[in-house]
Amino acid sequence: MASSGNIRLVLAILITAMVIGIVVAIALKGSKQTSPTPVLQKLPQNIDVALHQACFTEMREGRAAWELVADRAQYDKSGDNAYLSDIRLKFAKTRSGGAITVTAARGDYASKSGDVRLRGAVHMVTESGIDFTSESLDYLAARSLFRTAAPVAFRQQRLALRARGMEMDVKEQKARFQSAIDATVAGQ
């Protein structure tokens, strides 16, 4: 017959083994981290590719004429158009004008023509001091021209004006307004 000392020893070993087993089971279960399943976004029918932080550049005479960075770009199935969001378009300095930076909430880029349509909270700033806002602005690459038919707010130095419709040559940075303007010239 087993002595009570041996029974106590066996019970102590069994309890210790059970506690160690529980600790090991908890440690193994806790260290297994389930990787989150990736959420795949279904693209619309007409979209083939979607990119984050897309960058487009137009080259002229071996130099970058402009660079467009979009937070998101979606290419249509033909590959000709990219639908953009959170856009920053920067034009290089020219001989007659400084650099131009344009931001917009969304827009389209036509890769064949190089034209860019900007929509939503369009804001343009130039090194020469032009500050321009509108809800829409188109860049016509063949003519290096900005154009809009929407209402615009335009500031340069002491001049502030509002009008409907504007054209601005990128190289010369001269603006022409398409309607009657409401202008204010600030005093010195």
Asked if 99 and 140 sit in the same domain, the reply is yes
Asked if 77 and 165 sit in the same domain, the reply is yes
Asked if 64 and 25 sit in the same domain, the reply is no
Q: Has residue 23 been placed in a domain?
A: yes
pLDDT tens-place string over residues 151-169: 999 998 888 999 999 999 8
Q: Has residue 154 been placed in a domain?
A: yes
User: How many whole angstroms separate alpha carbon 186 and alpha carbon 176?
Assistant: 21
Domain that holds residue 11: 1-29
Q: Has residue 98 been placed in a domain?
A: yes
Asked if 78 and 140 sit in the same domain, the reply is yes
Contacts 24+ apart (CB under 8 A), 71-76: 73/109, 74/43, 74/44, 74/47, 74/49, 74/50, 75/47, 75/48, 75/49, 75/50, 75/51, 76/46, 76/47, 76/48
Q: Has residue 37 been placed in a domain?
A: no
pTM: 0.69
User: How many whole angstroms separate alpha carbon 95 and alpha carbon 158?
Assistant: 24
Q: Has residue 36 been placed in a domain?
A: no
Looking only at Cα atoms, what is the longest distance across the chain? 114
Q: Which residue has the tokens 């070993």?
A: 13
Q: Has residue 92 been placed in a domain?
A: yes
Asked if 132 and 81 sit in the same domain, the reply is yes
List residues bridging with 58 in a β-sheet: 66
| 100/41: higher pLDDT | 100
